[in-house]
Chains A and B, each alone.
Chain A
Amino acid sequence: MSVAVTARRWLPPTVGLGSFVLVLVAVEILIRIGAINRFIVPLPSDIAKSFARVVIEEDIAHRFLLTAWECLAAGVLLTVVGVAFGVLLHHVRLIRLACETWVAAMASAPLVLAYPLFLVLFGRSALSIIMLAFIAGLAPVILKTVEGLSATRRVLVDVGRSFKLSPAQQFWKILFPSALPTIFVGIRLGLIFALINVVGVEFLINFGGLGQLINELAERYDLPGTYAAICFVILVSVLFFATTERIERWLRSTA
């Protein structure tokens, strides 16, 4: 590849990254000269240093696993229940007509605000977090399952009819495989909602893994540590998002 083409491909990402580095350097300088209060914004170099400290002292691996387990549990629940409900809604037209808008409303409702309620019902435990994340992520799975099943191309249904498939065969051999890519989009959305809610509620109720870490460090007034922990959580979240996106794209290409 010619130099010009390579440069054109790598210039924008470099500029993007570079500007962030520049901002960090500028902030560092401004704090050192006293233009920014170092008790409100810690030195970027301090934050970088505390990364290692936070990872070692705060048992990051264990916390990460706890958060991951909560997400996984919520994820399994919302997949099983969500797809089941979605299939039900698709098959029974009356239920779909009655409930689909309700589910859509649920998708946009601020369910996480009911977390104190879950605290009362399930106590300050991982179960509260899992249940809340499950409910918060359920709606997109249901909606996408219904959407995927309904969007099965007419001609494929006709192929099934022309081969005299039974309703069960029609569902398992045609409708469901055809809907799978869309269903995975729904599951991915549900998982993302679940992660956001898991970390958020961990922070709010000061229990759990990574979310709780941020809260604890903030209450200890460990500024660089808090910033470092926030960065770490962002990293985890970005990785999760990117990985699920890769998986979804791979699934879509084979379907």
Chain B
Amino acid sequence: MNITQVLFWFLSIAAILGAILMVISKNPVHSVLWLIVVFMAISGHYILLDAQFLAIVNLIVYAGAIMVLFLFVVMLMNLNTETEPQKNRWLKIAGVITGGSLLLVLVAALKRADLKNQLAEMNKGDIGLIHNLGISLFHDYVIPFEISSVLFLSAMVGVVVIGKKD
């Protein structure tokens, strides 16, 4: 077991544990912090897969900007364990059973797929570097890039319109 595999298992366990703790923790602030742990672990996976640019963007955009926005809203509303709405127990059990059966079905369906020779290559390749991604982005994907700027503008206008007091 070399260092890459050790890191893979460590990051996978960190991601799944963080996700489960995010769902079950009662305090919303703790949920946000556990979700940041999950995003850090996923960024580590990106680095292991040599997608360095996406790893940094994931850290900056998700763990940095989006989660700070979530934390800001949670603290603005002064949410804590006492104000946390609770579902009744049967609905919770039904939700867990539904998620578990989805997991079971997907794993059972994918377990028999013949993927033994397909490797996600690690420690090789430079398609994740910003140079190559930038060339592809500004040659082949200029139109979607410009459209996404329009999307951001409309999101900004939408937030201002929604957030305005009547």
Q: Do chains A and B stick together as partners?
A: no
A binding-site residues for B, Cβ under 8 Å: none
B interface list, Cβ under 8 A from A: none
